[in-house]
Amino acid sequence: MPTSESLAGSARQTKATLAQWQACRARSLQLALPLSDADATAQSMDDASPTKWHLAHTTWFFEEFVLSRFVEGYRRFDAAYAFLFNSYYDAVGPRHARSKRGLLTRPSLDEVYRYRAHVDEALAAALAGEMLCEQALELVTLGQHHEEQHQELLLTDILHLFSENPLRPAYVRQPRVSGALPIDTSLSWVNFPGGIKSVGHKGRGFAFDSETPAHDVLIRPFQLASRLVTNRDWLAFIDAKGYDEPGFWLSDGFARAQALRWRAPLYWEQRDGVWWQMSLAGMLPLELDAPVSHVSFFEADAFARFSQARLPTEFEWECAAADLPVVGNVLDFQRLRPMPAAKQAASTPSQMFGDVWEWTASPFMAYPRFRASEGAVGEYNGKFMNGQFVLRGGSCATPPGHVSATYRNFFYPHQRWQFAGVRLAKDLP
């Protein structure tokens, strides 16, 4: 029988869940604020989704997995939305083609806002009334972290959409100055001992199923670069004809780079001999000391070989990050771009969290004894453990509080539109 203490504890927990969930929902609206209905409807490529779809799909997640299953008497806003806004859950039912999301001129953006309000009202009432069981509360928390992932995608998809517009519109205007912190462009190497290390999520707090179970791995002694690879570093690769030197590249990567005529990271443009970069603030002169961003795994891997180094494994990265505070240049309207490294102690690597996701040499695979979550949400991560590589650390578009040292992001090795960059590693004897 629950004690009054445990009941008070669970009431506190529900209150905290409600507050965090509301803050998350409000952030999505804030992110959409600078956009017109047309901005929010267009889709620039199959990998990217319209803002309107992100806003509706994250709402559908709560409607489908929480309200319609755990709240008696809940009435769906529109039965057709289950087809329009299901992303990839085969167990839930059929869905609209991913490549055709940009054709959804209806429902309008206003209608999607009404859909969000309908779901928010029902879920807020269920949370405030403590009507949800533990399983439903866990799904609310999963839905919140899911929405945070879509908030980052909303930004990277808008950046891609605007980069396709010859006007190169700015999503936000912001100062270009790097801030008051002294910049440190020197690169040193931080040594890490080898040994049997525990990796993966353990203990309390939210984690995606792909971060579990925690397990032991054997790490050889290694070095990690004290900072991320910069745009200046990348120019040296370009100047050395790195994009044309097959010796630096994996075969699939070289074939793709040649076929698509990659000459620089995505969003770089040379005008009258000067490099510019498309950003969420529109076109900006290339900031030489800022971390390179929007490179594929193939490019990151080639750059590492050019540098006589390699990419870290995901577990090397995790061991290096395990004792660091989770602070860095994450989503903030004042920046929304990777920033140069600030001066800090030479004994720890800087920029581990935020700025750009760091490609690792590790394929996105299940951890030993992995078990996908029960039910339809078991499709969340497990079925994507094929052909993708792990990225660690979060980016300047990642909502605050979303990443941790054990968090595993993943993309296909050719994909470039995320804020993805490079940190080098080397073997130690």
Q: Tell me the one-letter amino acid at 262.
A: W
Residues binding Fe ion: number (CB under 5 A)? 1
State both tokens at 244: 């044309």
Q: Please give the Cα distance from 61 to 125 (Å, whole number).
A: 17
Q: Please identify which residue in 43, 87, 223, 398 interacts with Fe ion, judged by CB under 5 A.
A: 87
Binding segment toward Fe ion, per CB under 5 A, in 13-21, 79-87, 233-241, 271-279? 79-87
CB nearer to Fe ion: give 49 or 279: 49
Piece of the chain touching Fe ion by CB under 5 A; list 23-31, 81-89, 162-170, 194-202: 81-89
Does 28 engage in binding with Fe ion (CB under 5 A)?
no
Cβ-count burial 367-397 (b if 16+ within 10 Å, e if not) = beebebbeebbebbbeeebeebbbbbbbbbb
Q: Which residue is nearest to Fe ion (CB)?
A: 87
Residues with Cβ < 8 Å from 225, sequence gap 6 or more?
Answer: 187, 188, 189, 190, 309, 349, 423, 424, 425
Least distance to Fe ion from the beta carbon of 84, Å?
13
Q: Considering beta carbons, is residue 65 or 262 the nearer one to Fe ion?
A: 65
DSSP lists the bridge partners of residue 230 as: 291
Smallest gap from Cβ 303 to Fe ion, in A, equals 31
CA pair distance 303, 264, nearest whole angstrom: 12
Within 10 angstroms of residue 229's Cβ, the number of other Cβ atoms is 25
Q: Which stretch binds Fe ion (CB under 5 A): 23-31, 42-50, 85-93, 317-325?
A: 85-93
To Fe ion, the closest distance from the beta carbon of 97 in angstroms equals: 16
End-to-end CA distance of the chain: 58
> Whole-number minimum distance, CB 144 to Fe ion, in Å?
12
> Which CB, 143 or 291, lies closer to Fe ion?
143
Nearer to Fe ion, 329 or 418 (CB): 418
Euclidean distance between CA atoms 429 and 427, whole angstroms:
7
Select 87 or 350, whichever has its Cβ closest to Fe ion.
87
What's the closest the beta carbon of residue 381 comes to Fe ion, in angstroms? Answer: 11
CB 302 within 8 A of CB 253: yes
CB of 317 to Fe ion, least distance (A): 25
Query: Quick one: 151 or 293, whose CB is closer to Fe ion?
Result: 151
Instruction: Please give the Cα distance from 411 to 296 (Å, whole number).
Output: 9
Burial of 192 (0-12, 13-18, 19+ CB in 10 A): buried
Dihedral sign of CA atoms 406, 409, 414, 415 in order: negative
From the list 83-91, 119-127, 301-309, 316-324, the region that binds Fe ion by CB under 5 A is 83-91
CB of 87 or CB of 277, closer to Fe ion: 87
| Nearer to Fe ion (CB atom), residue 140 or residue 278 | 140
Q: Which is nearer to Fe ion, 338 or 399 (CB)?
A: 399
Q: Residue 154 Cβ, how far from Fe ion at the closest point, in Å?
A: 11
Q: Which is nearer to Fe ion, 87 or 226 (CB)?
A: 87
Q: Report phi then psi at 125, rounded to 5.
A: -65, -40
Selected range binding Fe ion among 63-71, 74-82, 84-92, 183-191, rule: CB under 5 A: 84-92
Restricted to residues 125-154, the positions that interact with Fe ion (CB under 5 A) are none
Those residues with Cβ within 8 angstroms of residue 173's Cβ, 6 or more apart along the chain or in another chain: 281, 282
**Shortest approach of Fe ion to residue 175 CB, angstroms?**
33
Closest CA to 64 of 89, 98, 36, 96: 89
The tally of CA atoms less than 13 A away on the side-chain side of residue 46 is: 5
Of the candidate spans 86-94, 125-133, 324-332, 345-353, the one that interacts with Fe ion by CB under 5 A turns out to be 86-94
**List of residues contacting Fe ion (CB under 5 A):** 87
